[in-house]
């Protein structure tokens, strides 16, 4: 394709994308703009399922990849999401990473925080407080109903043994895709990651027992 044709296609795709945002206000622009523009430039998301035309649906889904669920409304492929009921910051995806490098993560998070990141440390006991409350609730239920079985003392033991330990996590300042979040955390040697559905990324260190903090603290990606 000639340069002038490429520029025209790019302009048309971006115009289509941003004009569509007025109709689909739930679209997560910070997360979806780059990938959606790419798919529109390749003309892979031009059909309209709402009009009975789903000839490009599969190609569009493959193009958006892991972002399909979050970004399909940006290209008119699915109904706009209602974020007023469940804010994106209240939902997240977590995953353990293959072959973490604890020494690398510790080296990168000690001292002054790297640029465009924020390092946060908090007691491991805060991570386990939810589990502790859950066990206490189950114990109460067990007193009332003898047929309820509890897990072993592993949760209590881990809670007691980690009172003084600190969990260290890293937040990236800007919004990123879930794919980028995983790649960034792997490159830092992280053990796990939490990707909030507003596109905030949290890399979780080796001392953390659970999946870090459930609070969104990305400086430029808070909503």
End-to-end CA distance of the chain: 39
> Rounded to whole angstroms, how far apart are CA atoms 164 and 27?
43
Answer yes or no: are the C-beta atoms of 171 and 120 closer than 8 Å: yes
* Distance (Å, whole) CA 223 – CA 119: 19
Q: Are residues 96 and 205 in the same domain?
A: yes
Of the candidates 191, 130, 137, the one whose C-alpha atom is nearest the C-alpha of residue 158 is 130
Looking at the structure, tell me whether residues 40 and 125 fall in a common domain: no
108 to 82, 112, 113, 190: CA distances (angstroms): 38, 9, 8, 10
Q: Are 81 and 26 in contact (CB under 8 A)?
A: yes
Q: Is the same domain home to 214 and 185? A: yes
Q: What is the pTM of this model?
A: 0.56
| Cα separation, 191 vs 200, whole angstroms | 17
Convert the pLDDT of each residue in 155-185 to its tens digit.
Answer: 444 445 545 689 999 999 999 999 999 999 9
Closest by CA to 69, choosing from 28, 122, 34, 18, is 28
Is 16 within a domain? no
* Residue pLDDT, tens place only, 69-128: 778 888 888 887 665 556 777 789 999 999 999 999 999 999 887 789 999 999 988 767
More confident residue, 210 or 19: 210
Model confidence pLDDT, tens digit, residues 207-218: 999 899 989 999
Same domain for 53 and 76, yes or no, is: yes
Q: Are residues 100 and 185 in the same domain?
A: yes
């Amino acid at each position: 394709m000639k340069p002038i044709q490429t520029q025209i296609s790019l302009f048309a795709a971006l115009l289509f994308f941003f004009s569509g945002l007025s109709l689909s206000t739930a679209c997560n622009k910070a997360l979806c703009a780059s990938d959606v523009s790419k798919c529109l430039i390749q003309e892979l998301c031009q059909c309209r399922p709402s009009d009975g035309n789903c000839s490009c649906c599969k190609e569009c889904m493959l193009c958006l990849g892991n972002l399909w669920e979050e970004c399909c409304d940006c290209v008119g492929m699915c109904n706009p999401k209602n974020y007023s009921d469940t804010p994106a910051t209240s939902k997240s995806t977590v995953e353990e990473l293959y072959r973490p490098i604890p020494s690398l993560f510790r080296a990168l998070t000690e001292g002054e925080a790297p640029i465009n990141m924020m390092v946060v440390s908090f007691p491991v006991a805060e991570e386990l407080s939810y589990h502790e409350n859950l066990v206490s609730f189950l114990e109460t239920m067990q007193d009332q109903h003898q047929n309820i079985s509890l897990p072993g003392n592993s949760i209590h033991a881990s809670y007691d043994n980690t009172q003084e330990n600190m969990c260290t996590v890293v937040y990236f300042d800007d919004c990123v895709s879930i794919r980028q979040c995983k790649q960034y955390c792997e490159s830092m040697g992280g053990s796990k990651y939490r990707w909030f559905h507003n596109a905030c990324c949290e890399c979780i260190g080796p001392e953390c027992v659970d999946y870090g903090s459930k609070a969104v603290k990305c400086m430029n990606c808070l909503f």
